Amino acid sequence: MMERTASMARGSRLSLATRWAACAVLTWVAGCERPAAPVPNAAATGEWRTFEGSWSATGTRQFVDLGPDRRVSTFRLTGSLLLSGEKRLGVGFRAQVMGLSDPRTGMVGRCVWTDERGDQIYSELKGDAVGSGTRIEGTIVGGSGRYTGVTGDYTFRWQSVVDSENDEVSGRVVDLKGRVRTGLVAQAGKVNP
């Protein structure tokens, strides 16, 4: 009986020693892991980040004649916006724009870019009346989610605007170039592609 008790005590010590060794090895392995990689493209607050892109959209356009040589239109377009550049805010967005186009006073509009997470970037548009070759300027005035506090500007040119029957319109943008300045959210590493 005494031998059995001594054998159990040795077994308990052995299993306890084995446990301590396993714990030590695991602690050592955990300490050898690489540190967490920084968030790619996370910019410091206030840093300008440039981007380029392409945009195609379809939607509706309604006209009102204000005399024999003045045709004003409202429009609502939705499409895909793809950005490129090392420090862009994201890759793909669904872009929605609403506006008013007048051949005498030009175009004004409001635009929302929505990414795959549902976070948004808001901008105001102005330029010449909507048509092929028209140059448009956008001012980024803020955003939601990871784009909170974002500001900036961009320009583009309508390569083609095609009006069809039933007030449908489609367009394609070229020379989309811009820059953004990230807000406080970016400093926490939340703005990245």
Which tens digits make up the pLDDT trace of 56-69?
A: 999 998 989 998 88
CB hemisphere CA count around 49 (13 angstroms): 25
Write down the pLDDT at residue 37. 33
How many of the other CB atoms lie within 10 Å of CB of 11? Answer: 10
Considering Cα of 186, then 189, then 190, then 191, what sign does the dihedral take?
A: positive
Res 188: pLDDT: 38
Better-predicted residue by pLDDT, 2 or 57:
57
How is residue 138 written in tokens?
A: 């956008």
Q: pLDDT-based confidence at 129, cuts 50/70/90?
A: confident
Phi and psi for 120 in degrees, rounded to 5? -125, 155
Instruction: State the average pLDDT over residues 104-119.
Output: 95
Match 């489609």 to its residue by tokens.
170
8-49: pLDDT as tens digits: 555 545 454 444 444 333 333 333 443 333 333 444 557 888
Q: Report the C-alpha gap between 169 and 162 in whole angstroms.
A: 6
Compute the C-alpha angle 82/87/93, nearest 5°: 25
pTM of this structure: 0.69
Q: Decide if 142 contacts 120 (C-beta within 8 A).
A: no
Asked if residue 186 has pLDDT above 80, the reply is: no
Amino acid at 25: V
Residue bearing the bigger pLDDT, 143 or 17: 143
Better-predicted residue by pLDDT, 10 or 147: 147
Tell me, what's the pLDDT at 41?
41
**What are the C-alpha distances in Å from 183 to residues 18, 57, 125, 145, 152?**
52, 29, 21, 11, 11
Length of the chain: 193
